[in-house]
Amino acid sequence: MMVRIEKAMRNKNVDIFAHPSGRIVGQRDEYKIDFDKVLQLAKETGTVLEINSSSRLDLRDLYIRRAKNQGVKMIINTDSHQKEQLHLMEYGIAMARRGWAECEDIINTNPVEKMLDYLK
């Protein structure tokens, strides 16, 4: 899995790494990956890590805190497929807070013009 992740994160067309640990709460455990390597790659390539607000709740708070401490940017995403699911954002915000993330760590807390600067 790490070979695939590294290849994707080094791809010039990849700005955001969604579902970074692959977990789905109550259904599937996290991938067995080297998260320190993921953080290193994210920092090196400028890849933003997703905090997913759906049933994945991926990244976990522990990983959010580690990303924050490494200076890796994150984005909170609802993974919505319908407008009725947009309320899920509150779960992503809660995970970010549990991981001690602040506005400057989360790219979609910025005005759209500044947020776009984080994309490759």
Q: pLDDT tens across 31-86, in order?
A: 889 999 999 999 999 999 999 887 778 898 999 999 999 999 999 998 888 888 88
Q: What is the dihedral of CA 80, 85, 87, 92, to 10 degrees?
A: -40
**Is there a contact between 106 and 94 (Cβ–Cβ < 8 Å)?**
no
Q: Token match 């992740």: residue? A: 5
Full-model pTM: 0.91
**CA neighbours within 13 Å on the CB side: how many for 32?**
0
**Roughly what angle, to the nearest 10 degrees, separates helices 89-98 and 61-70?**
60
Task: Please list the residues that pair with 17 across neighbouring strands.
Answer: 49
